[in-house]
Structure 1
Amino acid sequence: MTPPNDRFLTLERLRRMIDEDDIDTVIMAFTDMQGRLQGKRLHGRYFLDVALESGTEGCNYLLAVDIDMNTVGGYAISSWERGYGDFEFVPDWATLRQLTHHPKTAMVQCDLVWLDHAPVLQSPRTVLKHQLERVAGRGLVALAGTELEFIAFDTSYEEAHDLGWRDLTPANQYNIDYSILGTSRVEPLLRDIRNHMYAAGLDVEGAKGECNLGQHEIGFLYADALTTADNHSVYKTAAKEIAAQRGQSITFMAKYNQREGNSCHIHLSLRGENGDVVFWEDGKRTPLYDQFIAGVLATLEDFTLLYAPNINSYKRFAAGSFAPTAVAWGLDNRSCAVRLVGHGKSARMENRLPGGDVNPYLALAAMLAGGLHGIENELPLEDALVGNAYESDKPHVPHTLRHARDRFAASDVARSAFGDEVVDHYVNMADVELAAFDAHVTDWELARTFERM
């Protein structure tokens, strides 16, 4: 596969850079269930002399742990009974890039295969690639862009830990949505992130302030869906690393406090293999576009688990919060879960359901699976919602992780699109989180009942 642009590295260029001591570290990484980059840092010479030919491996528990890296039960692919064996990292050389925020460091993103070279079906990147294969089977390609928000603090991660993640100092003290003055105060951090990400091959659009205190968004140009998911994972990790290098911290939590949460609006469109527009013709939406949107809406409740994967995700879904609650679509209507924008080549859907904690591979896979469900069954698209979706009589998306888990587990469409292995795997991920939360006594409970009950 050809790299997206000439800022990515070729293997030959990496070899020269290692030989000339311009690169001495190569990160081999994959994205785990929680959307985090995991992997190994290899010495450059070892990478060339050994790993390039022999590859590298990792314990298969990396797709069967909770967010604290605790081994947990219920996963078919990894357990004490199976011996916690290995899987192989298979580099996708089209993702090879230099990370300029680390000295002399390059990174390549990997797919995961078992030791017999069969793909690890539960790997998020594989889940998305399978849906992209279905799209390609129809002579189509998927283009996507993710709009990821974060909150920046002038408090280091270590200090935040010691403070119990409370009473942190936000990088701004008031709503700086679109404010040039407000973003100027945080520009050293924002500029570092933008420039390092450009050097890593991402096509940076710009940065803007958001509504919460210290909340910002850095936008990137759309690309094919797999490249967008790969870049999203690199950016999310690198932004945290760059903030940490400056003694700051940022969070992508869906809902950090009672103010606005962090969203990750996902824009998606289909094109023909030759770049032909398939969502727009003769000045209007095509039947294919309408069927695709109808399928996304029809599966929105069943697939919410892939858009909102954590307990905290559901705190965003509040009326009047710019986070959607209604299963509805509208023309440039931000109160709806699905917002249609653009025309001609720019015609696309925006999924407003995901938060900043989303796994981009799984969310894009869900959108494509839903859209294909609509195309395959020629689902009719209901009329656009006009007005305030929060006050409409439309059905609501699940408002708890448990509800979303049950919908996903029982979904015939999910099992048909993703397979039982994938569905059962991510249902168990939800079960693990629910059990951990149910066993925890929260600060809210202590404050509410310690004395008065």
Structure 2
Amino acid sequence: MSDFQAEYEAYCAEHGVPDRIEMMLCDLNAVLRGKWLPGDEVDKLLNGGVRLPMSTYAPNILGSEVEATGLGIVKGDPDGFITPVSGTLKPVPWANGHVAQVLVEMVDEDGEVSTLSTRKHLNNVLDRFAKDDHHPVVATELEFYIVKNRPDATDAPEPPDGLPDAQNYDLEVLNQTEEILTEILDAARIQGLATDTLIAEYGPGQFEINFHHTDDVLAAADTALLFRRLVIGIVDSHGMEATFMAKPYADQPGNGMHVHASVVDGEGQNIFSAVDGVSDTLKSAVGGVLSTMRDMQAIFAPHMNSYRRFQPGSFAPAAPDWGLDHRGAAIRLPETAGPGARLEHRISGADVNPYLALAAILGGIHYGLNNDCPLPAPLDETETTDTDPLTHDWTTAVQMFEQSDFAADLFGEDYRRIYSAVRRDEIQELTSIITAVEYRYYLSRL
């Protein structure tokens, strides 16, 4: 009996046979794509009878194939065989009827997961640590906004009525939104997502969820991905919208995905821990993450809107700098001694692909542990930085990734090319649109 067959039988014993199974493939943009399968036809999934085009891994944000990737119809758009990801078969509490969901990957005829899989790229980074008998431990924090339902997709978002402009840690805001938030937390519990604290964040209708630290890094990325789907589904059932868009409001803080990361050795000891001050290993890890941050900005900020978080006064760090307990720094060190010694990476927007973001962060840590990387003075000491800021230009970030030796080493030259091609296609699609602002201020004046 296969692992998934046993998992499915255990699911049915607890919940009954589902009406359908939603098979979810994470694409390059962290959009879930896939198929519905009747629950009583699970044998098709078990026997490799369900397929998808391999190009499903790498469309642009509009859902269209990108010819420059070399995938899709230019090579006949061949299929891959869908295989379930163990441990991800869960009920969908907000769905009508009895619905189950499962993450899937595509494999070739030899059963190897496609190199187009972002989950596989994260696993490859974990293999690098394992060769050194090191094991990352991570936790993510995700921010999101709840907004009023919009009649048209082009309408600007509006916060729910009755919320303060600045609601940071406001318990009354949690009380006002209790029905939705409780349903979110209940659904997360049912799906086994390891939620920790929930707070009202600064912006009106903005919230942040923290997840527990885990040494199952793939599961942590799964959790971030699945939680986004869960929140959007539940909020929609209440007649509103939820968004993890990086910067939905120009005058309010954006949505980030902060990542806490440490590394333990084969005996379970945190290699970042110091008796006094900051350990050399933690300094090396920070140096590696800072040294590779510009090359990876196209991962941490994948879309046009992502770069609005890097504008002055946007509440997001905008330079590769660090501090001991400095929330204005790109890398913050909340603790430097004991099991909790770690770094907090504060650059990524909530719109990232969590597999690629974690791969880039952990890849930077691994690079720092194995190379001599420069480390600037912490912001706690100077309150200024001599380092150049991160770019606020999308095209520049993609170009840096496209030319990065670190990106080629981490993801492989072919995936670096594919990722860059998809981003360049998105740039072409979206920057060619003439906006309402341009018509308003230019058309009748020039």
**TM-score if structure 2 supplies the norm length?**
0.92
Q: CA deviation at 1:169?
A: 4.4
The whole-number CA distance in structure 1 between the counterparts of 2:232 and 2:244 is 9
Q: 1:294 to 1:265 in 2, by over 3 A?
A: same
| Pairing partner for 2:426 from 423, 430, 433 | 433
Q: Is the 8 A contact 2:308 2:314 kept in 1?
A: no
Is 1:145 aligned to residue 139 of structure 2?
Answer: yes
1:71-220 matches, within 5 Å, as 71-76=65-70, 78-102=71-95, 103-155=97-149, 159-161=151-153, 164-166=154-156, 168-170=158-160, 172-220=163-211
| Pairing partner for 2:328 from 328, 335, 356 | 335
The whole-number CA distance in structure 1 between the counterparts of 2:164 and 2:219 is 35
Deviations 1:320-363 (A, max 9, x none): 33201111111111111111112311111111111111111011
Q: 1:240 to 1:167 in 2, by over 3 A?
A: closer
CA RMSD of aligned residues (A): 2.0
The whole-number CA distance in structure 2 between the counterparts of 1:70 and 1:380 is 41
Question: Which residue identity is paired with 2:221?
Answer: A
Equivalent residue for 2:55? 61
Deviations 1:267-308 (A, max 9, x none): 111112442211114344432222111110000001111100
The whole-number CA distance in structure 2 between the counterparts of 1:344 and 1:426 is 38
Q: 1:239 to 1:11 in 2, by over 3 A?
A: same
Q: Is the 8 A contact 2:27 2:59 kept in 1?
A: no
Deviations 1:234-269 (A, max 9, x none): 110111011111111011111112121111111111
The whole-number CA distance in structure 2 between the counterparts of 1:17 and 1:43 is 18
The whole-number CA distance in structure 1 between the counterparts of 2:78 and 2:148 is 42
The whole-number CA distance in structure 1 between the counterparts of 2:176 and 2:377 is 44
Q: CA deviation at 1:378?
A: 3.5
Q: Is the 8 A contact 2:262 2:270 kept in 1?
A: no
Equivalent residue for 2:7? 10
Q: 1:386 to 1:320 in 2, by over 3 A?
A: farther
Q: How many pairs were matched up?
A: 437
Is 1:45 aligned to residue 23 of structure 2?
Answer: no
The whole-number CA distance in structure 2 between the counterparts of 1:452 and 1:388 is 47
Greater shift, 267-276 or 109-118, is seen at 109-118
| Pairing partner for 2:243 from 244, 251, 267 | 251
Q: Is the 8 A contact 2:291 2:374 kept in 1?
A: no
| Pairing partner for 2:385 from 392, 397, 418 | 392
The whole-number CA distance in structure 2 between the counterparts of 1:330 and 1:17 is 48
Q: Is the 8 A contact 1:86 1:115 kept in 2?
A: no
The whole-number CA distance in structure 1 between the counterparts of 2:59 and 2:85 is 24
Q: CA deviation at 1:44?
A: 1.4
The whole-number CA distance in structure 1 between the counterparts of 2:339 and 2:105 is 32
The whole-number CA distance in structure 2 between the counterparts of 1:402 and 1:170 is 35
Question: Which residue identity is paired with 1:330?
Answer: G
Q: Is the 8 A contact 1:205 1:221 kept in 2?
A: yes
Question: Which residue identity is paired with 1:249?
Answer: E
The whole-number CA distance in structure 2 between the counterparts of 1:30 and 1:50 is 16
| Pairing partner for 2:395 from 396, 399, 402 | 402
Q: Is the 8 A contact 1:327 1:397 kept in 2?
A: yes
Q: Is the 8 A contact 2:24 2:101 kept in 1?
A: yes
Any stretches of 5+ residues in structure 2 without a counterpart?
Answer: none
Q: 1:373 to 1:68 in 2, by over 3 A?
A: same
The whole-number CA distance in structure 1 between the counterparts of 2:36 and 2:266 is 37
Question: Which residue identity is paired with 2:226?
Answer: V
The whole-number CA distance in structure 2 between the counterparts of 1:378 and 1:86 is 44
Q: Is the 8 A contact 2:136 2:262 kept in 1?
A: yes
Greater shift, 80-89 or 168-177, is seen at 168-177
Question: Which residue identity is paired with 1:26?
Answer: I
Q: Is the 8 A contact 1:148 1:217 kept in 2?
A: yes
Q: Is the 8 A contact 1:328 1:337 kept in 2?
A: yes
Equivalent residue for 1:353? 347
Equivalent residue for 1:6? none
* Secondary structure of 2:167 counterpart: coil
Q: 1:281 to 1:240 in 2, by over 3 A?
A: same
Greater shift, 225-234 or 339-348, is seen at 339-348
Q: Is the 8 A contact 1:55 1:90 kept in 2?
A: no
The whole-number CA distance in structure 2 between the counterparts of 1:70 and 1:50 is 27
Any stretches of 5+ residues in structure 1 without a counterpart?
Answer: 4-8
Q: CA deviation at 1:396?
A: 0.9
Q: 1:329 to 1:69 in 2, by over 3 A?
A: same
Deviations 1:77-109 (A, max 9, x none): x13221112112222212232332234232222
The whole-number CA distance in structure 2 between the counterparts of 1:55 and 1:17 is 26
The whole-number CA distance in structure 2 between the counterparts of 1:388 and 1:438 is 39
Q: Is the 8 A contact 1:327 1:394 kept in 2?
A: yes
Q: Is the 8 A contact 1:401 1:430 kept in 2?
A: no
Question: Which residue identity is paired with 1:239?
Answer: V
Q: Is the 8 A contact 1:146 1:232 kept in 2?
A: yes
